[in-house]
Amino acid sequence: MSLRRRLGLSLIGIIVFALVGAALGAGGSSDGGGYRVRAVFDNASFVISGEDVKIAGVNVGKIDSLDVDAHHRAVVVLRIDDPAFVPFRKDATCHIGLQSLIGEQYVECTPTQPRGGDRAPAPELPKVPDDQPGAGQHLLPVSQTSSPVGQDLLNDIMRVPERQRLPLIINELGTGLSGNGEALQAALRRASPALQQADKLVAVLASQNETLGKLVDDSDAVLGPLAEHRKDLAGFVKNAGESGAATARQGDALEQSFAKFPAFLRELGPAADRLGALADQTTPTIKALSSQATSVNAAIERLGPLSTQATGALKTLGKVADQGRTTFPRAERVVQQFADLGIPIEPLAQNLGALSTSFDKTGGIESLMRFIYFYTGAVNGEDASGHYTRAGLSFGDCVTRTPDFDPASICASKFIDEATTEASAARAKTSSTLLGYLLDGGK
């Protein structure tokens, strides 16, 4: 085989291999899986296919392809392979970032903005119509993308020939951008996320200009007195620092207090409910007292003279209390003897109580009175002169009252008689034996 023939076959094989590879690449680009976002940028220089697409620093896909739209803006097709980060919504944003020092770049996206639990999510990104390039892809407009100028491009300004070209661009900038000022302004805002956030901040401040003006006026009214008392304010700050240091030294105790605080709050709720119920119940009483406030005030005013007059009585009661300190200890022995006597007498008292109760319930009192009445009538006598009473009471000399009583007479009562001490002791012993017999139930 000649050299020319072999070179021809080799060239044909290379061409066939390139065509097959292109066909496979095209098939993978158009028919492969993944969620595709068609993001429009003002500038996508140095962005190449196959670079990473990140969300919150996590790789979620690749840059699928690059294109240019009808307005000569860069179009970057993003393939999102991780289903956890789809779909992108209308409030999604994307920006181009520097991947490494050799100039590799990536695309960082936010599928949707944070929102509260009660806010509904934004609608999904719309799809490109079938009659337009990128049909079926989800369109992210240029207003929600940004492509900051790289550091290397800024450094290139200082080099030749960029340094020479920059004056030419500046000189001809006015002519080239004549009539496109608004477009340039929009491009500059999209090129810097900080400017976008600054615009939002200015818009919020503009909507609150009246509130801010009132705040300035009120702050003048507050800052004026503070300026007059700047020394007091400085002292307050110093004392606050010392208080904070003291509080920091008690950090463990404060931590324990805060740990107990939830339990306190749980108990405080029912206690507050009970206090509220008490307040509701005491409201009528307070209203009644309010209607009688004049009388209550008069009574309180009269308590002053009463207290003054009661001072002497209280002093007298104090003297009585002093005497009681000596009297009651002496009577303690007698009280203890009565207490000891009450224990054995208790069964006898119960029996006597039961006997008197039974005697009363069975009509014993009435029967006794009838007996006395009829017995008195039955023993009466009768003679020629009529009926007479045989029953009667005899009274001695000791019954009648006399103004000149003689203590030495036979009617004088004596608790202790020396002549009859032994006889009294014998009778007391006999009575004690009889009482013990009764208490033991006749045993």
Q: What's the confidence (pLDDT) of residue 392?
A: 60
Q: What's the confidence (pLDDT) of residue 412?
A: 59
How far the first Cα of the chain sits from its last, in Å, is 154
Q: 122 with 112: CB under 8 angstroms?
A: yes
Mean pLDDT of 321-325: 84
Q: 140 with 37: CB under 8 angstroms?
A: yes
Phi/psi of residue 125, each to 5°? -60, 140
Q: State pLDDT tens for residues 100-110.
A: 767 778 999 99
Cα 145 to Cα 110: distance, rounded to the nearest angstrom? 10
Cα 181 to Cα 174: distance, rounded to the nearest angstrom? 10
Low-confidence winner among 6-10, 64-68, 128-132, 324-328 (lowest mean pLDDT): 6-10
Q: State pLDDT tens for residues 13-36.
A: 444 444 434 443 433 344 457 899
Q: 128 with 172: CB under 8 angstroms?
A: no
Higher pLDDT, 149 or 14: 149
Mean pLDDT (the chain, rounded): 77
Q: 123 with 159: CB under 8 angstroms?
A: no
126 confidence band (pLDDT: 50, 70, 90): very high
11 confidence band (pLDDT: 50, 70, 90): very low
Q: Where are the domains of the chain?
A: 32-114+122-148, 312-356+435-443
Higher pLDDT, 164 or 349: 349
Q: Show Cβ contacts of residue 391 under 8 Å, excluding neighbours closer than 6 positions.
A: 376, 379, 380
Higher pLDDT, 112 or 319: 112
Among the listed residues 94, 84, 96, the one whose alpha carbon sits nearest the alpha carbon of residue 125: 94
Q: What percent of the chain has pLDDT over 70?
A: 75
Q: What's the confidence (pLDDT) of residue 29?
A: 41
Q: What's the confidence (pLDDT) of residue 20?
A: 38
Q: What's the confidence (pLDDT) of residue 405?
A: 57
Pairing state of beta strands 35-41 and 74-80? antiparallel
Q: State pLDDT tens for residues 388-398.
A: 666 665 556 56
Mean pLDDT of 217-237: 82
436 confidence band (pLDDT: 50, 70, 90): low
